Amino acid sequence: MSGVVKALFLSLILTFIPTADAVRIHPEAWEGSALVEGGYSILVEEYTATWCERCAEIDEDLEIITDDHGSRIAMISHHPSDGIDAYQPPASEHRLERLRIQHSGLNATPSFIVHNGAVREGVNSWPDVQSDILKEESSQRGYTELRVHAETNATAITVTVFPPVQEAMSNDTQISILFVQHNKEISEEYINPGTDSRDRVLVGLAEFPMVGNPVAIDATIIAPFVASYPIDSMDQWSVVAIHEYTSEVIVNMTTTESKPLGVVEISLKDPHREETTPLPLILPIFIFVSIGALGIISSGKKKKVKEEE
């Protein structure tokens, strides 16, 4: 199979992957509320820091890539409470503690975890991240169908997640609402090898377990499955709703078993890249890796046929 045919085959695969259920809205088009029904998006969680030089190298490209992926992925950046990072949001530290239950080696920045899969460390790991995303999209068969409503007023974003049908729920699961800030500025007194802001910063969350008490960090719980976050400091934002297993349960599960059950994102953000802007250099790497992977699959099949003959 030639390289051109493999590339076309990869494109064909992508066309058959169901459209993810998310909405990304230009700030000028925002009318105060949005309702999304779905759950197919792939969750990508990044461990990063404002002082990290390697993170600064890839951060701008990540903004372009997430725009290009559109609604297929919901990407969130977690910053540590280490006394050095410019943000140190408690919500991010809470999420990192959850990830470390199953990923004890999550220490390097930047690191990426796709749908609670393997930890990918460093800038050079991004082709592996892209491959993980493609693998999750192509292998995902079922997901929890969620209805998520977001609305804003002068002071807050309020998010309501309508509980899924009873058959999809389990006492071992929870609905998590994550509030994400785009283009969050960095104060001058902090170490900063990159631009004057960072994107996709987790700043608040609310968790609603099916059994037990809800938890809110820098967010306000209004009612079951309803939470709000102050909007006064955010011009552009995302909210991500996740149906997932509780932290107490994933202690005894493998990462394959504990993948998110449903993910929906509503995002209010300017596109980072104009249509005439060249694609980032790391995208061709992903295409090369994907073509190579298809070649390996093809060779494996030929070998198996010969063995059977």
Determine, yes or no, domain membership for 309. no
Residue 278: inside a domain = no
From CA 171, how far away is CA 197, in angstroms rounded?
40
How many domains would you assign to the chain?
Answer: 1
Domain that holds residue 184: 19-270
> CA 226 → CA 150, 214, 221, distances in Å?
10, 11, 6
pLDDT of residue 282: 47
Q: Is there a domain that residue 25 lies in?
A: yes
What CA–CA distance (Å, rounded) separates 8 from 4? 6
247: left (phi over 0), alpha (psi -120 to 50) or beta: alpha
Within a domain: 210: yes
Residue 51 lies in a domain: yes
Domain for residue 57, yes or no?
Answer: yes
Q: What is the pLDDT of residue 247?
A: 97
pLDDT (0 to 100) of residue 139: 85
Q: Distance (Å, rounded) from C-alpha 83 to C-alpha 85? A: 6
What pLDDT, on a 0 to 100 scale, did the predictor assign at position 168?
A: 65
What pLDDT score was predicted for residue 59?
84
Q: Where are the alpha helices (DSSP H) in 47-180?
A: 53-69, 90-102, 126-139
CATH number for position 188:
3.40.30.10
pLDDT tens sequence for the chain (309 residues): 443 343 334 434 444 444 444 577 888 889 999 999 989 999 999 999 999 999 998 887 787 777 776 668 999 999 999 999 999 999 999 999 999 999 998 999 999 999 999 999 998 998 999 899 999 988 877 889 999 999 999 999 999 999 776 666 789 999 999 999 999 999 999 999 999 999 999 999 999 999 999 999 999 999 999 999 999 878 899 999 999 999 999 999 999 999 999 999 999 988 765 443 444 444 444 444 444 544 444 445 444 444 444
Question: Which residue spans within the chain are E strands per DSSP?
Answer: 22-25, 33-38, 42-47, 73-78, 111-114, 119-121, 146-152, 156-162, 173-181, 184-185, 197-198, 201-209, 215-217, 220-223, 226-230, 237-245, 262-268
Residue 65: inside a domain, yes or no?
Answer: yes
- Say if 285 falls within a structural domain: no
At 272 the pLDDT is 63
Q: How much is the pLDDT for 14? A: 44
